[in-house]
Amino acid sequence: MKTTTGYSGIQIALHWLIAVLIAVAWFTGEGAGDAMEIVEEGGVAGFVPHVAIGLAILALVVVRVLVRLGRGAPAAPGQPGSMSVVAADWGHRLLYLLMIAVPLGGVSTWFLGLDVGELHELAANILMIVALGHAAMAIFHQYVLKDGLLRRMMRAE
């Protein structure tokens, strides 16, 4: 994977836009559950905000992964191969995996009629927990270690 000196403007914009949309998707999930029940009882669900937001996330994450593969990213701070660097790299990989798997689970439930709604909900909850841990680590770096990490996701380089 290519190592850069910083994230690009596109990478930063996608990071924050997707983070906000994931939070909105998480809070609107119940509406999709209600819509599923209506459909299962033979009714018509109409426009479901959660599905629209979830699809937007999936599309943006695909773009984000392509940009990441093409451009690369800065190395995590610390000694290469150290515990903290390995943990950061695997944490980020896990976030990417969940950002793809969760919307695909939603698509499988809503469009393909597969019985994976509960799995989708579980994976979404895990995504939120990992993302909160990730945010906590970012804040720890910024305000306890005072290494200016947050700036890397604020200013393009």
Binding interface with ligand HEM (CB under 6 A): 15, 19, 22, 25-26, 29-30, 32-33, 36, 50-51, 54-55, 57-58, 68, 73-74, 76, 88, 92, 95-96, 99, 102-103, 106-107, 109-110, 117, 120-121, 124, 127, 131, 134-135, 138-139, 149-150, 152-153
CB 51 within 8 A of CB 32: yes
Q: Smallest gap, in angstroms, from Cβ of residue 12 to ligand HEM?
A: 9
Question: Cβ 9 to ligand HEM, closest distance in Å?
Answer: 14
CA contacts within 13 A on the Cβ side of 143: 6
Shortest distance in whole angstroms from residue 39 CB to ligand HEM: 9
Q: How far is the CB of 123 from ligand HEM (least distance, A)?
A: 8
Instruction: List the one residue out of 68, 56, 137, 138 whose CA is nearest residue 97.
Output: 68
Distances (CA, A) of 91 to 28, 38, 86, 99, 118: 25, 37, 8, 12, 24
Count of other CB atoms within 10 angstroms of residue 93? 10
- Separation in Å, CA 153 to CA 2, 44, 89: 18, 42, 16
Amino acid residing at 54? G
| CB 107 to ligand HEM: min, Å | 4
Nearest to 131 by CA among 104, 91, 102: 91
